[in-house]
């Protein structure tokens, strides 16, 4: 006799829940790329101002942890019976120890692009995971070098509007990809979420990362 849906559910145990502590469409798209569809999004509205003399790596770590804590607090008001995996991330762009802002205006974006022009910079993306087994985190450093940007490059990119709200004033997955001469590290981390490290963390903490892969064929 074939098993009923109820019997199947009973043998498989309780369902799992995956929550992304971000409202970033880029991070969502990256998760979907590896077959993970969050059950819900819990973006955190936090103060992202760097502390005095705070290294870029530590800033990324602190902000990811703060986002995770804010989302965890929000989850306390929801159903806690379902095993939950909660993921938060933050990306920081830096030239030396100088942290570049998430550009909100064209002048700010232009300043970032001039600073990045013809020189290397580093992108730090921190990920923090809360699972039924505990907390884990990773920080990924990627080195990127832009070509020397002309005035036409900068003005054209400003006109595109892609820079708005982006760390360092650019989005590597868009037009600014044409500026990249060299990248050492994780491309997806520069976009906003390092896929290898994210999948490794989730897999190691027991989340069924491959559950939907068969349906993608």
Give residue 84's domain range: 5-216
pLDDT given at position 9: 34
Query: CATH number for the domain including 160?
Result: 3.90.950.10
Looking from the CA of 215 toward its CB, the CA atoms found within 13 Å total: 9
Token pair in block for residue 43: 């973006």
Q: Please tell me the total count of domains within the chain.
A: 1
Strand partners, 102: 167
Q: List, by residue number, the catalytic residues.
A: 90
Are 140 and 189 in contact by the 8 Å Cβ rule? The answer is yes
Residue with tokens 């970032």: 112
Token pair in block for residue 199: 């999948």
What percent of the chain stands above pLDDT 70?
A: 91
Q: Is the pTM of this model over 0.95?
A: no
Residues 58, 63: Cα–Cα separation, whole Å? 9
pLDDT at 5 > cutoff 80 = no
Closest C-alpha to 112, from 96, 93, 125 = 93
17 three-class SS: strand
Tell me the average pLDDT across 74-100.
88
């Amino acid at each position: 006799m074939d098993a009923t849906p109820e019997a199947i559910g009973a043998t498989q145990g309780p369902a799992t829940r995956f929550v992304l502590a971000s409202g970033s469409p880029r991070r969502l798209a990256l998760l979907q790329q590896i077959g993970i569809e969050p059950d819900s999004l819990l973006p955190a509205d936090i103060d992202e101002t760097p502390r005095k003399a705070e290294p870029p790596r530590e800033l990324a770590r602190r902000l990811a942890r703060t986002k995770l804590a804010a989302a965890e607090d929000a989850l306390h008001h929801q159903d806690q019976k379902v095993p939950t995996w909660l993921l938060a991330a933050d990306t920081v762009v830096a030239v030396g120890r100088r942290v570049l802002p998430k550009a909100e205006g064209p002048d700010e974006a232009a300043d970032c692009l001039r600073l990045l022009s013809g020189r290397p910079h580093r992108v730090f993306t921190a990920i923090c995971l809360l699972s039924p087994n505990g907390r884990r985190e990773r920080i990924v450093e990627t080195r990127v070098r832009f070509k020397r940007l002309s005035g036409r490059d900068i003005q054209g990119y400003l006109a595109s509007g892609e820079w708005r709200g982006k760390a360092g004033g650019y989005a590597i997955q868009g037009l600014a990809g044409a500026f990249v001469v060299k990248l050492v590290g994780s491309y997806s981390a520069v976009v906003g979420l390092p896929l290898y490290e994210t999948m490794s963390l989730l897999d190691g903490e027991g989340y069924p990362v491959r559950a939907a892969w068969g349906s993608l064929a």
